[in-house]
Amino acid sequence: MDELLSQFLIEARELIAQAGDDFEWLARDPADSARIDSAFRAIHTLKGSVAIFDMVPAGRALHAAEDVLDRARAGRHRLGRTNVDALVAVLDQTDRWVDAMERDGALSPRAGAEADALLARLQSNVARPPKLPAAETPPWLPALLAREAAAIEAAASDLVAFRYNPDSECFFRGEDPLATVAALPGIAALAILPNAAWPAIDAFEPFQCMVTIEGLSAAAFDDVRTAFRFVADQVMLFPVAAARAAEAEIQTAAAKSLRIDTARIDALADGVGELIVANNALAHVAAEADRVDPQIGAQVRAAHAALERAVSGMRRSVMTVRLVSLGPSLRRLPRMVREIAATLGKPVRFEISGEGIEVDKGIADELFEPLLHLVRNALDHGIEPGVVRRKAGKPETGLLRLAVTREGDQVVVALTDDGAGIDTARVRAIAVERGLLDRDAAAALDEMQAMRLIFAPGFSTAATVSAVSGRGVGMDAVKAAIDRLGGRVEIGSVLGRGTTIRLRLPLNAILTRLLIVRAGGERYGIPLDRIVETTSIPTEHIHDVGGGRSCVLRDRAIPVLSLAALLGAEDRRSPFTKLIVTENAAEPVGVIVDGFGQRIDGLVRPKTGLMAGVRGLAGTTTLGDGGVLLVLDLAELVA
């Protein structure tokens, strides 16, 4: 059952995401028949999925939503904005119910009342005829479709499948089931089946009805419903086209994809990393062999080159397998925006683009939480209340836009709002008030440095703690999460016009490109994405300033730190100083090293055990000569 639930959670969220995309489109173009059909298929399949578990309220709500879409696709009802909003409400609540199943294994006691509210909302927007009872997942339908396959293929129009279970006492009420069925328009197939095992001849009761009547009709769904109106409680109806479309969709999906446990993919990625380490080791062996016997060295180099090509191909393949669309990770954001905006009483329009871009699954899995923090911040602190926006000459409805793009070997996720922007004077004042900086230090900050104070732990511009924000644990959590993913956060804002926060993330989370450096007599690895540039300058150009040192680089004074000193080792002096230029709070910082080594691709293992609490250490990797290389967290060291 656990495996079945896991499969359900994956498929349910995919279907919710698909229906959400369709509803977003239908809100702009309610007459788009292709989108109506797509939403109907997603809701229909989702309804069948929830029926497997104890999710009766979800089944009721989805059945009602399916009915609305079915009437729209058949041309019996025209969707409007209120209809679409009601359908979105059903989808959002279903999303929450799915979360509850994952978290608790059951729906909450409130689920029945929540479903009743959704049904009332749907019914208030659509005039619906009395609903005939129908099985959430009709167990009789597959057998009927298989039995009547020839009639279905020969049909010139859509068919309606029906199953009529006459009451056993119907004859005593003057009802004639055969006459009822004979009056049905457009009969395309008919079968009379026993509703139970036939009794022995001496126990046969001729005045009891013991049959079930199944068949197909080419008439419109409402016409079939009308023909059975006097025995509605004994009849189940189902559109054949919907059933076959759902079946075909499932079969197509099964043919095109293979679900693999993510742990197996991770193990495969680790294996490729180990192969790369072994390949690096072979390069070291080739160099050693060259010194002993050049001919053997040449043979080893040839073997190394062949292995390197094979490992590179395997690496690319594994990286491709690990690539997943960001869509599922972002699917809950529209609902969250609606809920948070409703809580704050702010009308907001949310737009997403580029959600189909693929990234490493490690990035996709961890991206939702920092994005949710950013969304909360934008809605609470960025976008103004409607009355304030009107006075400022803005549309009453705020705009929040999430755009995902590819830039080289990075993916950029940008969240933009058209709100009030960041008031850096107020940010400085709050930082002083909360003891994060003294007044002189705050005044010395430039605009970009002041903006980045919002990422400081404990910083918040909220006057009170609310259900949305105010505890000062949002934006610093964003920066920490993005740092863990090997990315960085950029911010830009114009007072009165809005704010954009960009997350720059690597596409590849398997291997890290490292620069080997020497400091204090030891070798260390530094991720290349933390290095702005490397350079060498005369030592005499580094000057003591206050309690630290600085130099002028590209006509700009930058602080200079010693990596050896940061690591508690002796700082060596020489006529020329080698510098790594990195960033701290978007400002350049020079880091002195003793020397630069080679650049390698390393499988960086997280720090564990005694090293887990070591500040400035990101993890370890293995070198080709078998040595262990400490990989530094440069951002933490220079902060």
DSSP for 106-132, please give it: S--TTHHHHHHHHHHHHHHHS--PPPP
- For the chain (639 residues), the mean pLDDT of every run of 10, in chain order, is 75 86 87 87 85 83 88 79 87 91 88 89 59 53 85 81 87 82 90 82 79 91 83 82 59 57 76 77 82 87 86 80 82 85 90 87 85 90 92 93 87 94 90 85 84 79 51 68 82 92 81 86 88 90 88 89 89 88 82 90 74 80 79 83
615: domain CATH number is 2.40.50.180
Same domain, 331 and 456: yes
Q: According to the model, what pLDDT value does residue 132 have?
A: 37
Q: According to the model, what pLDDT value does residue 249 have?
A: 52
Strand 235-239 to 348-353 pairing:
unpaired
Of the candidates 254, 284, 311, which is a domain's last residue? 254
Residue range(s) defining the domain that contains residue 425 = 326-506
CB atoms < 10 A from the CB of 103, how many?
8
Strand order in the sheet with 576-584: 533-538, 576-584, 587-593, 556-562, 548-553, 543-545
Instruction: Give the chain's domain count.
Output: 5
**Residue 563: what are its φ and ψ, rounded to 5°?**
-65, -40
In a domain, 131, yes or no: no
Same domain, 6 and 95: yes
Angle at 374 between CA 369 and CA 380, to 5 degrees: 125
Of the candidates 254, 274, 303, which is a domain's last residue? 254
Strand partners, 562: 592
Same domain, 105 and 13: yes
In a domain, 178, yes or no: yes
The string of pLDDT tens digits covering residues 379-430 is 998 999 999 999 999 999 999 999 999 887 789 999 999 999 999 999 888 8
In a domain, 130, yes or no: no
Q: How would you class 124 by CB atoms within 10 Å of its CB: exposed for 0-12, middle for 13-18, buried for 19 or more?
A: exposed
Same domain, 245 and 153: yes
Reading phi first (left if > 0) and then psi (alpha if -120 to 50, else beta), residue 585 is in left
Same domain, 296 and 417: no
Same domain, 436 and 575: no
Same domain, 316 and 331: no
Same domain, 201 and 108: no
81: domain CATH number is 1.20.120.160
Contacts for 210-213 with beta carbons within 8 Å, 24 or more apart? 210/168, 211/166, 211/177, 212/163, 212/164, 212/165, 212/166, 213/162, 213/163, 213/164, 213/166, 213/177, 213/178, 213/181
pTM recorded for the entire structure: 0.59
Could you please report the per-residue DSSP string of 64-94? HHHHHHHHHHTTSS---HHHHHHHHHHHHHH
Q: According to the model, what pLDDT value does residue 127 have?
A: 43
Do residues 611 and 629 make contact, with C-beta atoms less than 8 angstroms apart?
no
Angle at 436 between CA 433 and CA 440, to 5 degrees: 75
How many helices (H) and strands (E) the chain has is answered by: 22, 23
Give the chain's end-to-end CA distance (angstroms, integer). Answer: 49
Same domain, 117 and 145: no
Give residue for tokens 């949002």: 474
Do residues 459 and 430 make contact, with C-beta atoms less than 8 angstroms apart?
yes
Rounded distance between C-alpha atoms, residue 349 and residue 371, angstroms: 17
Q: According to the model, what pLDDT value does residue 135 have?
A: 39
Same domain, 416 and 550: no
In a domain, 443, yes or no: yes
In a domain, 136, yes or no: no
Q: According to the model, what pLDDT value does residue 471 have?
A: 37
Give the residue among 593, 584, 414 at the shortest CA–CA distance from 498: 414
Same domain, 193 and 240: yes
In a domain, 532, yes or no: yes
Of the candidates 225, 254, 283, which is a domain's last residue? 254
In a domain, 14, yes or no: yes
| 3-state SS class at 437 | coil
Same domain, 246 and 294: no
In a domain, 282, yes or no: yes
